[in-house]
Amino acid sequence: MLKQERHNYILEEVRSHNKVLSSELSHKLNVSEDTIRRDLKELSDNGQIKKVHGGAMQHAYIPFSHKDREIYAHEEKVVIVRKAIPLIQDDFVVVMDGGTTNLELARQLPLDLKATVFTNSLPIALQLSEHPKVETVFIGGKILKNAQVAVGLDVINFVADIHADICFIGTRSIHHQFGITDFDREETLTKQALVSCAKHVVSLPISEKINTVQPYKVTGIEKVQTLITELASEDDLLTAYRKRGLQVL
Amino acid sequence: MLKQERHNYILEEVRSHNKVLSSELSHKLNVSEDTIRRDLKELSDNGQIKKVHGGAMQHAYIPFSHKDREIYAHEEKVVIVRKAIPLIQDDFVVVMDGGTTNLELARQLPLDLKATVFTNSLPIALQLSEHPKVETVFIGGKILKNAQVAVGLDVINFVADIHADICFIGTRSIHHQFGITDFDREETLTKQALVSCAKHVVSLPISEKINTVQPYKVTGIEKVQTLITELASEDDLLTAYRKRGLQVL
DNA sequence: ACTAATCGTGCATGAACAGGCATTAAAACT
DNA sequence: AGTTTTAATGCCTGTTCATGCACGATTAGT
């Protein structure tokens, strides 16, 4: 295993768990604690993490109570969500995957919209429970800690019985050739189930996710009917998707 | 657990409750009070909190910062939860109903407890997703707006397959003769299912709920093994329950 | 003023650390 | 190809850090 690989792994761990322990890393990566210490020191000197006795932590601690309030690239996501809302009609059955864009969608739903929303995301369910007319159904299952979404067999079984009008699928990466991809295997399988339970699948990526790829495939691009970004629909970046027959907004 | 983690936790706790008690922190974080004292001293020296006898406070009172975290009769519920925690052992399968007392229980779970928790409450699931070692499984279903819990057939079917070690049932009213009762029909049916999936049922009412009654019956008192209130276990109010063979804490 | 809780200090112990040294492997240079 | 350089890693040693415990001093509540 290369040093760079370890560094990437460590950074990923820190991002998702807020901390790492030297002893744990040493065990997982099969190197001595000395090496880990050197890794941590280097990353710390670069300002990428904060070294502490026994391991390292993320620089800025983002407490639980604030974490879900702040949305990365919020402006862009508001633009996207505005374009997405007209897709939802009264009495629709909607499936909403996790992700901050979908959370923003949940927040911006018109208060007079009457619909049933199935979701596997805890923050989205909480948000929707405050909506006066939307009936919220949580798709239960094992909760993935970082993402605060339910995943796994329970989810997959649950949605097998649903035929939704529209599905908003969380999109970590989308590529005109490789489709929607993600990096967590279990999450990917769950997303596959969500995608296949709706006739109309919508992806809402911010433009920086366009034409990036992650290890695991959620779905091919042909299963996605609509793509909405914060860009103008004629933007060059989206040409490939228009050509493949997607509705681009 | 890293020192820095404790510090973050303490700061967050101070911000949300305006104060912390050394004894409480010591329990929750599973370290000696000496260590907590040292933590508080350090944070205090950095000017991040104000140390006082018995714990610490935040420097300036910020009235509405964490309004959503406030729990009615919080003090009493902390007392209850303290007594409840020893009931949960490592590798237990726990079922947690909704309610603010159970939410407090989720918050106070020792960070080194390893367990699987099934819950139908969104806030509790969110809280538990922050816990490092607890595996959280959400029991999906229709979300009841006010209570933010899942109810209905989906929930009932889900728990039919579970055999839990212990179930903490949310208790709106408990009576030595009429048992646990509630006022929402659908929620009541759901609670019945939760109760019947565990060998050990625990009710955590604050004393003002003792011997009150609601329209619908969740379960008779004979199905409840343990009753925990903020009162001393010998309190007269609890005599009737002791006589009926409940463990009263 | 009395009593129990809380505090501060010092000490002991084990974990984590820094820095030097040896080994290996890859890279760069004759 | 053969040699030198450099980087990466593991191991060793003395040092620092974190923590729990003991014990006397201090404080708060009655």
pLDDT in tens, B181-214: 998 899 999 999 999 999 999 999 988 888 998 8
Of B5, B12, B16, the CB nearest to A19: B5
Which chain A residues touch B15 with a CB distance below 8 Å?
63
Q: A3-61 has which fold?
A: Arc Repressor Mutant, subunit A (1.10.10)
Pairing, β B201-203 against β B166-169: parallel
Q: Contact B8/A61, CB-based, under 8 Å?
A: yes
Write down the pLDDT at residue A22.
92
Of B170, B153, B236, B157, nearest to B197 by C-alpha is B157
Task: Considering chain B, tell me which residue range(s) the CATH 3.40.50.1360 domain(s) occupy.
Answer: 74-248
* Protein CA at A34 to nucleotide C1' at D7, angstroms: 15
Smallest CA–C1' distance to D20, residue = B32
CA–CA separation, B233 and B243 (whole Å): 12
Q: What length is written for chain A?
A: 249
CB neighbour class for A75 (10 Å; exposed up to 12, middle 13-18, buried from 19): exposed
Per DSSP, the three-state class of A138 is strand
Sign of the alpha-carbon dihedral angle for A103, A107, A110, A113: positive
- pLDDT at residue B66 tops 50: no
B63 confidence band (pLDDT: 50, 70, 90): low
CA–CA separation, B97 and B166 (whole Å): 11
Q: Which amino acid is at A27?
A: H
- CA–CA min distance B78, chain A (Å): 20
- Tell me what percent of the residues of chain B surpass a pLDDT of 90: 44
pLDDT digits 0-9 by tens, A91-129: 999 999 998 899 999 988 988 899 999 999 999 999 998
* Residue A33 token pair: 């604690």
Write down the pLDDT at residue A69.
57
Q: Is A130 on the interface with B (CB under 8 A)?
A: yes
Sign of the alpha-carbon dihedral angle for A53, A54, A58, A63: negative
Write down the pLDDT at residue A76.
84
Write down the pLDDT at residue B119.
96
B61 confidence band (pLDDT: 50, 70, 90): low
What residues form DSSP beta bridges with B198?
Answer: B164
Q: What is the Cα Rg of chain B in Å?
A: 19
- Contact between B27 and B112 under an 8 Å Cβ cutoff? The reply is no
Walk along chain A (249 residues) and give the pLDDT tens digit of each residue: 788 888 888 888 887 788 899 999 898 888 999 999 999 998 888 888 889 999 999 876 655 555 555 677 777 888 899 999 999 999 999 999 998 899 999 988 988 899 999 999 999 999 998 888 899 999 999 998 878 899 999 999 999 989 999 999 999 889 998 999 988 888 999 999 999 999 999 999 988 888 888 888 999 999 999 999 998 888 888 898 999 889 998
Domain B3-68: assigned CATH number: 1.10.10.10
CA–CA separation, A62 and A58 (whole Å): 9
Write down the pLDDT at residue B159.
92
Task: Considering chain A, tell me which residue range(s) the CATH 1.10.10.10 domain(s) occupy.
Answer: 3-61
Q: Is A33 on the interface with B (CB under 8 A)?
A: no
Q: Which amino acid is at A138?
A: F
Q: A74-248 has which fold?
A: Rossmann fold (3.40.50)
Helical axes A74-84 vs A100-108, angle rounded to 10°: 60
What residues form DSSP beta bridges with A78?
Answer: none
pLDDT digits 0-9 by tens, B160-184: 989 999 999 989 999 988 999 998 8
Q: Is A213 on the interface with B (CB under 8 A)?
A: no
- Contact between A113 and A88 under an 8 Å Cβ cutoff? The reply is yes
* Protein CA at B90 to nucleotide C1' at C14, angstroms: 25
* Residue A121 token pair: 């995301």
Highest mean pLDDT among A71-75, B112-116, B230-234: B112-116
Of B100, B117, B81, B111, nearest to B198 by C-alpha is B117
DSSP-assigned letters across all residues of B25-44:
HHHHHTS-HHHHHHHHHHHH
Least confident window among A164-173, B25-34, B117-126, B194-203: B25-34
* Protein CA at A23 to nucleotide C1' at D24, angstroms: 39
DSSP-assigned letters across all residues of A70-121:
--TTHHHHHHHHHHHGGG--TT-EEEE--SHHHHHHHHHS-TT--EEEEE-B
Smallest CA–C1' distance to C15, residue = A54
* Residue A68 token pair: 């879900």
B221 confidence band (pLDDT: 50, 70, 90): very high
